């Protein structure tokens, strides 16, 4: 699903880990984003990891959702953005 806009609270941020991408090595951490309807895993890449903290209310604009290893995940992507409100 593309063009996802959602606002919620960050309730958990996992440890950052290094992964190899087609663009080279990158850091990624998995966070949990919650709102009144439920929760979703949110992948934070590179500087996004330090941009948000547990308890922040954030808005993801133009993100995309996909299933990875049987788990629905939300990603900001290169055309999206994440803002701390």
The whole-model pTM stands at 0.89
28-64 residue pLDDT tens: 999 999 999 999 999 999 999 999 999 999 999 999 9
- CATH label of the domain that carries residue 62: 2.40.50.140
What total of structural domains would you count in the chain? 1
d(CA 25, CA 48): 15
Those residues with Cβ within 8 angstroms of residue 83's Cβ, 6 or more apart along the chain or in another chain: 58, 59, 61
Domain span at residue 10 reads: 2-84
């Amino acid at each position: 699903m593309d063009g996802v806009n959602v606002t919620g609270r960050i309730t958990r941020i996992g440890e950052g880990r290094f992964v190899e991408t087609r663009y080279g090595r990158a850091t990624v951490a998995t966070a949990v984003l919650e709102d009144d309807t439920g929760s979703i895993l949110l992948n934070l890449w590179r500087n996004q990891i330090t941009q948000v903290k547990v308890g922040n209310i954030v808005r993801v604009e133009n993100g995309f959702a996909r299933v990875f290893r049987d788990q629905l995940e939300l990603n900001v992507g290169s055309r999206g953005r994440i803002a701390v409100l």
